[in-house]
Structure 1
Amino acid sequence: MIKLFATDLDGTLLKHGNRIETEDISAIELLKESNIDFAIATGRMDRDILKVCEEITTDAHRISQNGAFVDTKSNEKILANTFDIETSSALHHAISQFPNPFCITTVDEAYISIKTPEIEAMEQILYFPLVEGVDFANEYQENFLPSKYMLLGDQKDIVAFQADIHEKFHAVCESYLSDPRCVDIVPKGVSKAVGLLALADYLAIKPDEIAVIGDSFNDIPMFEMTPNSFAMSTAPEAVRNKAAHVVEDVHEAIAYVQQNVSTK
């Protein structure tokens, strides 16, 4: 029996321009009638999830920044992961060599190395503006630590730099292609699956009582933790192959769960 449904945001619940399908909103509302809890698991920050919750008028458990942070729908923080001071400084110096724009996020802010015209255009669809300037590699302290670095640009460029970072820092970080033009670098052991498992433990449910849906490589850990996984049809083939089902929309996955899984 499914007790929790978790969705990714970009490319899944959020369509181009942060648009959410009316059918998806209605389906999420119907989850309550089936006694299925709702969660959002995304590479975005918690403040973005809260804006989405306002738009769909539904509270959600929140797995943000690829699982670095987990907050319940009652706003209890049950997981928080950041890089330590030494690792933060070393990673910062290394990533500063990346020739394209890169972003650094903390629990409550997002910084961009430079606002190019492309970044400014992207910023128009963000819920919150980016703070320009990342010249603080030597200013990290316990109350100011990064939870995620993001490399932005052409896939071949960011993946090549990702490989270099992995070679040097694989002992202390994970990296995911969260979008065709974005690589996320997070603390070792951080993933959406780890975040969901922490939430499952809090809710006293099992992984096979969770259904998940996503569209990118950072969603694969979720697909591997439960048999009830759905990939968007727009996802790369390698991502689709990791999911149990492929669907066109979130509401299609929810309907399948309600009709075929939730009563078993």
Structure 2
Amino acid sequence: MEKNTIFVTDLDGTFVKDSRKVTPQDRKSLLKLKAEMPIAIATGRSVKEIRFIENQIQLACDIRIGFNGGIIEVKGERIFEQPIDSQTLRAVLEWIQQHQIVFDALDGEQRIGTHKSDDAAKLWNMELVEPLHLFDLLTEKKIFKINIRPDSGQADELLTELQGRFPQLAICKSGEKRIEITPLNITKGHALELLKKKYDLEFISAGDSENDVSMFKESSQSFCMAHAAQPVKEEATTIIENFYEVADLIA
């Protein structure tokens, strides 16, 4: 891949603002950007879910970054993957079981755990299952990310406890209803850093959550949604109300 400026966007809350469906105006904006430069998607979700959105908008992106950087694909070729190591996975699952925490673990094909959802439109064709012998089953799987689902108002407290207990992991909030756990140094920013070194790329990015801050730091220009938390907005170069504004604001 020759040197290029790549536009990379988060999905939930950004390009898919309601986490259900891309608006026609936002789709049109991304098509305009695609005509000018390669496009990347970076999300805490799986590559399978990235493809779901690609099918929805009938546009294939050039780079897919799933699980906050746990998997990276370039032109459909997987160039990097890093699941949670088995020993650490067992320790986290034991903590979850002891504290009866609602969670889901992602292997790339399913959401496996105790989390339930009545909003099928937010699952993006990703089956949510709670099998028998749940914790035994998970220790045998390749797990890239665990979502902790805190009760209302408990996210910050749980985040602090998890970060103190598991310093060998990357742990951050994605809104007030989800804490994301990935291997240490696996972040969207790390993914962009790896791509910069391998392909000599530059990035312009858009996002809305704490897990996008590392991506902003690796970008020459960054856009943050106005509904984001103030500390997240402070890390971006430009604040926008709607995704479709990006196409007219890129320097």
Which of 184, 193, 200 is the matching residue for 1:197? 193
Secondary structure of the 2:205 match is strand
In the alignment, the residues of structure 2 paired with residue 19 and residue 138 of structure 1 have an alpha-carbon distance, to the nearest angstrom, of: 35
Which of 208, 219, 225 is the matching residue for 1:232? 225
| Corresponding position of 2:153 | 156
| Corresponding position of 2:242 | 249
Secondary structure of the 1:28 match is helix
In the alignment, the residues of structure 2 paired with residue 183 and residue 155 of structure 1 have an alpha-carbon distance, to the nearest angstrom, of: 12
Q: Which runs of 5+ in 1 are unaligned?
A: none
Matches of residues 15-26 of structure 1 in structure 2 within 5 Å? 15-16=17-18, 18-26=20-28
| Corresponding position of 2:129 | 131
- Could you give the per-residue CA deviations for residues 181-217 of structure 1, whole angstroms, max 9, x where no partner exists? 0000111001011112223334331xxx310000011
| Corresponding position of 1:179 | 175
Q: Is the 8 A contact 2:225 2:233 kept in 1?
A: yes
Percentage of identical aligned residues: 24
Which of 64, 67, 72 is the matching residue for 2:66? 64
Shift of 1:240: 0.7
Relative to the length of structure 2, the TM-score reads 0.90
CA RMSD of aligned residues (A): 2.0
Secondary structure of the 2:108 match is coil
Paired amino acid for 1:7:
T
Shift of 1:251: 1.9
Which of 11, 28, 31 is the matching residue for 2:30? 28
- Do the aligned partners of residues 136 and 86 (structure 1) sit closer, same or farther apart at CA in structure 2, a change above 3 Å counting? farther
Q: Is the 8 A contact 1:155 1:182 kept in 2?
A: no
In the alignment, the residues of structure 2 paired with residue 62 and residue 221 of structure 1 have an alpha-carbon distance, to the nearest angstrom, of: 17
- Could you give the per-residue CA deviations for residues 49-71 of structure 1, whole angstroms, max 9, x where no partner exists? 00111112111111111111111
Q: Is the 8 A contact 1:27 1:251 kept in 2?
A: yes
Q: Is the 8 A contact 1:7 1:40 kept in 2?
A: yes
Q: Is the 8 A contact 1:79 1:195 kept in 2?
A: no
In the alignment, the residues of structure 2 paired with residue 134 and residue 232 of structure 1 have an alpha-carbon distance, to the nearest angstrom, of: 40
- Do the aligned partners of residues 232 and 17 (structure 1) sit closer, same or farther apart at CA in structure 2, a change above 3 Å counting? closer
Matches of residues 91-110 of structure 1 in structure 2 within 5 Å? 91-110=92-111
Q: Is the 8 A contact 1:78 1:198 kept in 2?
A: no
Paired amino acid for 1:161:
L
Q: Is the 8 A contact 1:112 1:134 kept in 2?
A: no
Relative to the length of structure 1, the TM-score reads 0.86
In the alignment, the residues of structure 1 paired with residue 166 and residue 214 of structure 2 have an alpha-carbon distance, to the nearest angstrom, of: 20
Paired amino acid for 1:16:
D
Q: Is the 8 A contact 1:105 1:111 kept in 2?
A: yes
Q: Which runs of 5+ in 2 are unaligned?
A: none
In the alignment, the residues of structure 2 paired with residue 50 and residue 70 of structure 1 have an alpha-carbon distance, to the nearest angstrom, of: 13
Q: Is the 8 A contact 1:123 1:130 kept in 2?
A: no
In the alignment, the residues of structure 2 paired with residue 69 and residue 2 of structure 1 have an alpha-carbon distance, to the nearest angstrom, of: 21
